[in-house]
Amino acid sequence: MITLYNTLAREKQEFKPITPGVVNMYVCGMTVYDYCHIGHARMVVVFDVIARWFRESNYKVNYVRNITDIDDKIIKRAAENGESIGTLTERFIAAMNEDFAALGIVRPDHEPRATDHVGGMQEIIAKLFDRGLAYSAPNGDVYYSVRKFQGYGKLSRKNLDDQRAGERVEVDVNKQDAADFVLWKSAKEDEPAEVKWDSKWGSGRPGWHIECSAMSCHHLGEHFDIHGGGEDLQFPHHENEIAQSEGAHGHQYVNYWLHNGFINVDNEKMSKSLGNFFIIREVLAKYDAEVLRFFILRAHYRSPLNYSDVHLDDAKNALTRLYTTLKSVPAAEVQIDWAEPHAARFKAAMDDDFATTEAVAVLFELALHANKHAGTAEGVQAAGLLKALAKVLGLLQRDPSTYLQAGASDSEWTSEKIEAAIITRKEARAAKNWAESDRVRDELTAAGIVLEDTAQGTTWRRV
């Protein structure tokens, strides 16, 4: 039995799929006008692991993660760059795929783009007009009438009257109510033709919220199991999705809402305005991608995650300990027996709202057991189970030496340079030039490279 924390209910609930044995899951994806940041990394790693665990639990998973390729920010950035919308978005989609592949993300079953679903968005808007929930404004935009939808605020627990009482800005004169949100934006003369679609409300483009309602409905139906995303999307995005989808179709939209927590940087929320904003490829220039994935999974997905070099270094050292075990103790090919005590604890953790913190702790228990029984069949089995369970989380699947010798992309100490230094040291030792031998070792040690002399020769790893 899998339980998960449903934001809509504010409690853990047993997962009961609409169709037995099937999980239909939609997750809000990227708006592709810039490189992905570490907040995006957390979201995609979290839901990658959730999809992996459902599949490991013998569910058929239909995982949809959209791409927003039409948006105000995209139009603005393309204009600033002097390039077309398509050129901008294709470049950043390619960069996104590179970053996510490095993080070991399994591609979703469907990755719809907003621009391919404008017709579906228009159909939903037409239904909202039929139900009296949409209206045309004097400026040509189409808005959703929030106060006419009885359930508005049920996800975020926000009260419309409380919001009005706290207003500090002048209300948009085109809206009937300050909380109303745009469904369709009328075309502007200075906008390129590629962001204009014909509609019964005039030439224009969709608002952001309606995009996800249309794409999720197209791929998963009007009612599906799980909708996920970052905590920052609860309001207004997900709240507005519910209003649109349930307003148009007249029934429940999603059964379970899952939200991952924020990333903080040195205990402050990450934001561009604070200057503590990190894109994924900046981090991967300094740290191995598996270290970043491991760092994310050591925390529970709903908890705030504090990002700093100190925490990344700690994650690197911890992951190195696991790989060092697999280098020292050969891993048997293991078919997981979920009744085995370590595997059972791992499963219990993952079944309990995807508690990767406890699941990772089980990996360290297995590493300790494997090291304790190194050179025995028991140790080999423990190492095999360690690797098999880690695979469920997308970890520890590389050759140990490959990981232990991997360095940051900007490191001056390449593998070739290290191997050349080892040869220089070997020649110095053969000539009994101990001073030169020690000099080479000390230089490598200072660069964070450890030499290990064995009967088979000298090997090395990074610290």
Could you tell me which residues come within 8 angstroms of residue 431 by beta carbon, excluding any fewer than 6 positions away?
A: none
217 annotated as ligand-binding: no
- What is the band of 410 on the pLDDT scale with cuts at 50, 70, 90? low
Contacts 24+ apart (CB under 8 A), 127-131: 127/248, 127/249, 128/183, 128/244, 128/247, 128/248, 131/247, 131/248, 131/250
Task: Report whether pLDDT(169) > 70.
Answer: no
**3-263 has which CATH code?**
3.40.50.620
- Whether the Cβ atoms of residue 127 and residue 248 lie closer than 8 Å to each other: yes
By mean pLDDT, which of 59-73, 81-95, 157-171, 230-244 is the weakest?
157-171
Q: Examine the pLDDT at 357 and tell me if it is beyond 90.
A: yes
When pLDDT is cut at 50, 70 and 90, the band that residue 427 belongs to is confident
Task: Extract the tokens encoding 409.
Answer: 């992309």
Rounded CA-CA distance 35/33 in Å is: 7
In this predicted structure, the answer to whether residue 166 has a pLDDT above a threshold of 50 is no
Full DSSP string of 416-438: HHHHHHHHHHHHHHHTT-HHHHH
As a whole number, mean pLDDT of residues 346-364 equals: 98
Is the link from the previous residue into 330 a cis peptide, with omega within 30 of 0?
no
Domain 309-400 has CATH 3.40.50.720: no
| Contact of 206 with 184, CB cutoff 8 Å | yes
Q: Is the pLDDT of residue 108 over 60?
A: yes
3-state secondary structure of 407: coil
Which two structure tokens, joined as six digits, stand for 24? 């239909």
Is the distance from CB of 191 to CB of 76 less than 8 angstroms? no
What are the structural domain ranges in the chain? 3-263, 309-400, 415-462
Q: Which two tokens stand for residue 393?
A: 């989380």
Output the pLDDT for position 270. 78
Residue 451: is its pLDDT beyond 80? yes
Q: Which residue has the higher pLDDT, 462 or 134?
A: 134
End-to-end, the C-alpha distance of the chain in Å comes to 40
Amino acid 267: pLDDT? 75
If you compute the radius of gyration of the chain from its CA atoms, what whole number of angstroms results? 26
pLDDT digits (tens, 9 = 90+) for 118-144: 999 999 999 999 999 999 999 999 999
Residue 346 clears pLDDT 90, i.e. is over it: yes
- Considering only 207-221, 332-346, 410-424, which range has the smallest mean pLDDT? 410-424
Predicted confidence band at 386 (pLDDT cuts at 50, 70, 90)? very high
Residue 170 banded pLDDT, cuts 50, 70, 90:
low
| C-alpha–C-alpha distance, residues 442 and 448, integer Å | 10
What pLDDT does 162 receive?
67
pLDDT band at 211 (very low <50, low <70, confident <90, very high): very high
Q: What is the pLDDT of residue 417?
A: 87
Percent of the chain residues past pLDDT 90, beyond the cut? 80
Give the confidence band of 171 by pLDDT, cuts at 50, 70, 90: low
Which among 240, 234, 269 is positioned nearest to 253, based on CA atoms?
240
Taking a C-beta distance cutoff of 8 angstroms, is the pair 332, 381 a contact?
yes
Burial of 436 by CB count in 10 Å (0-12 exposed, 13-18 middle, 19+ buried)?
middle
The answer to whether 257 and 155 have CB atoms below 8 angstroms apart is yes
From residue 217, give the alpha-carbon distance in Å to each of 27, 118, 245, 248.
12, 13, 8, 11
Mean pLDDT, range 227-254, rounded to an integer: 97
Q: Which residue has the higher pLDDT, 275 or 224?
A: 224
Is 36 flagged in the annotation as binding?
Answer: no
Q: Which residue has the tokens 């599949």?
A: 55
Residue 79 has pLDDT above 80, yes or no: yes
- For the chain, give me the number of helices (H) and strands (E)? 16, 15
369 — phi, psi (to 5°)? Answer: -65, -40
pLDDT at residue 406, as a whole number:
79
Per-residue pLDDT at 95 exceeds 80: yes
- Is 272 annotated to bind a ligand? Reply is yes
Mean pLDDT, all residues of the chain: 93
Helix ranges restricted to H, 273-409: 280-284, 289-297, 309-328, 341-351, 356-372, 377-392, 400-404
